[in-house]
Chain A
C-alpha cells in the first residue's frame, strides 16, 4: 500500500520538529515519541494536520522482552483525509506515568482510565483517574504480562504462606 504523498509530507514535518523515529508496517505509519513530546505532538496533529478524531489509546507490556517495559499506543484519524496514524510512547518512568491527553482530546478520559486500570500506567493531570472496568478495590493490573491468567494455585499447609504472598487477590 502506497502512502499518500500529503501524509508523507505531514509525517516529514513532524519528524523534523520532534526528531522522532518512523516505522512503516503494512501501510500503517507509526511514530515513536518521548513522554515529554506527546502532548505537543498531539496538539500539533489536531490543530495543524486535521487529525480531529482520537480513535484509541491503549498500551502494550513488553515485560522481560524490552526496556522500557510499557509502550502507550495512540491512534489518530483524520476524517477529511481518511488517514490514520499511530503514535507510540515508551514509558520511561518508574512507576510508569505519562502526561494526560485529556485536555487535547476529551475522549482520552475513559481510554486513559482503562489503561490505568488494566496496565497501571498513571496519567498525570487526569481529571478522574479511577478504575473503570474492574471493581474499585481490585489489587493489581491484569493486562500486565506478569499478572497470572487466573488459575488458582493449590495451597497445602506447607506452602500456604508462600502462595498467599503472590495470590492475585485483594490484600486487606
Chain B
C-alpha cells in the first residue's frame, strides 16, 4: 500500500494569490460534503474577510469510469450506463447515445417513436428544472418552493414509471426507437399534467419573482458576458441568460423538433436572476412542446424494422425459430457497427450534451466520450465568484445547475 500524500498549497500557488500562501488571506474548503454544493463538489476558496478572491473547483469525487466501462460492453448493454451520468436527465443521455448509434449505423426511427421521445425529453427537462428550482431556492432560503416543485416532479416520475417501469433510470429510449409502446393511460396522464402545469409555474413565480429577499440574493450576482461564455464553451441557460438565443433544438434540430412551435427564452442581465427567469420561461415552453406533440401523436410502430441492428419483436420470437436465433445473436454477440466516428449533440437541461462515438467495426464501441454540459459550465466558477461574498457562492453554484454525475462521469 502506498501512503497518502498531502497536497500542499505550494502545488496550487499558480491559482491562489501570494497573500494566501503567507496566511494573510484565508483558504477555506467548501465541500465535498457541503449541503449546498449539489453533490460532491469541493471548492477551495481564498477569502479576504468575506470576499472571495479566487476559487479552485475540485471535481472527480463521483468519477465512475463510465467511458472505460462502456468500451467493454456491447452497444446495447452499454446504454444503461448512460442513465447514470446526468441522473436528472436520463432520457436525454439515452437519446444522445442512441442518436450517435443511429447516425453511425444509419438506423431509421419511426415518427411515433420520435414524438414519444420528444414528450419524454421535455418532461425530463421540466423535472430537472423543477429540482433545480427547488434546491436552488433552498440554498437562498426560499424553503417553500422546494415543496411545491417536488409535488409536480412526482407527477413526472409517475409518468416515467408508467412508460418504463423506472422512476429515474429509465433506459426507455433505445437505438432505432423506444423500448415499447406507451401504455393506454399515458395520453390522459400527460394531458392532465399539461393542464395543471402552467398554473403551477405561476405559483412558483408568485413565490420568487417579486420576492425582495430573493431579488437581493440574485440580482447583479455572478455576471458573465456573452464573449466569455463563448470563450469558455458555456451553453444552455447560462448562455441564453447572457443574451444569446442559442438552443440546439432550434439550431440543429433532432427528433423532429423543427415541427414544434416554441421560442427560445433569453435575458440580458446574465446574473442569477436572469438564469432563473430563463429556466422558468423554458418550463413554459416545454409544456407547449409536450402539448403539441401529444395532440398530433402519430400511430404506428415505435421501433425501427432494420433487423441488422434491432432485435425482432417479442410476438415473432414465439413462432419463428429464425427470429429466436436472431434475437439471441443480437443480445449475446451484439451488432457490428460500421467503422468510423461520429459526434452528436443535443440540448440537455444544462446545455450541450454531446457524444463522440468511435467504432472499429466490432460489436463494442471502441471509444465513447461524453461532452457534458456540467463539466464545461463548472469551469467558469472562478470567474463568477470573484469579488462576491461567500454566501453568494452558494447561489452561483445553484444558478449553474450542475450535476456532479455529469461533470465527473
Residue numbers in B under 8 Å from A147 (CB-CB): 68
Answer whether residue B237 sits at the interface, using C-beta atoms and an 8 A cutoff. Answer: no
- Contact indicator A75/B7 (Cβ below 8 Å): no
- Contact indicator A142/B5 (Cβ below 8 Å): no
Return the contact of B60 from the options A52, A109, A134, A150 (Cβ within 8 A).
Answer: A134
Residue numbers in A under 8 Å from B230 (CB-CB): 52-53, 79
- Contact indicator A143/B68 (Cβ below 8 Å): yes
The complex places the Cα of A32 from the Cα of B316 at a distance, in Å, of 47
Q: Taking A134-B60, A149-B69 as given, write out 10 further A-B residue pairs in contact, using a Cβ cutoff of 8 Å, ordered by the A residue number.
A: A55-B345, A58-B356, A106-B231, A107-B233, A118-B67, A133-B63, A143-B68, A169-B2, A171-B2, A172-B2
The complex places the Cα of A171 from the Cα of B341 at a distance, in Å, of 36
* A147: nearest chain-B partner, CB-CB: B68
Q: How many residues of A contact B (CB 8 A)?
A: 45
Scoring B residues 210 to 237 as 1 if CB is less than 8 Å from chain A, else 0, what string do you get?
Answer: 0000000000000000000011110000
Interface pairs (9), CB distance under 8 Å: A25-B342, A55-B345, A60-B366, A82-B252, A105-B233, A107-B233, A107-B379, A133-B408, A172-B3
Beyond A134-B60, A142-B68, whether A54 also contacts B2 by CB under 8 A is no
Answer whether residue B371 sits at the interface, using C-beta atoms and an 8 A cutoff. Answer: yes
* B372: nearest chain-A partner, CB-CB: A56
Name B residues whose Cβ lies closer than 8 Å to a Cβ of A: 1-5, 7, 11, 14-15, 59-60, 63, 65, 67-69, 72, 103-104, 106, 230-233, 244, 246, 251-252, 340-343, 345, 352, 354, 356, 358, 360, 366-367, 369, 371, 375-376, 378-379, 408-409
The complex places the Cα of A131 from the Cα of B408 at a distance, in Å, of 12
Beyond A26-B104, A26-B340, A133-B408, whether A73 also contacts B2 by CB under 8 A is no
Return the contact of A55 from the options B59, B60, B354 (Cβ within 8 A).
Answer: B354
Answer whether residue A13 sits at the interface, using C-beta atoms and an 8 A cutoff. Answer: no
Return the contact of B340 from the options A25, A106, A107 (Cβ within 8 A).
Answer: A25
Beyond A25-B342, A86-B343, whether A75 also contacts B371 by CB under 8 A is yes
- Contact indicator A73/B356 (Cβ below 8 Å): yes
- Contact indicator A128/B356 (Cβ below 8 Å): no
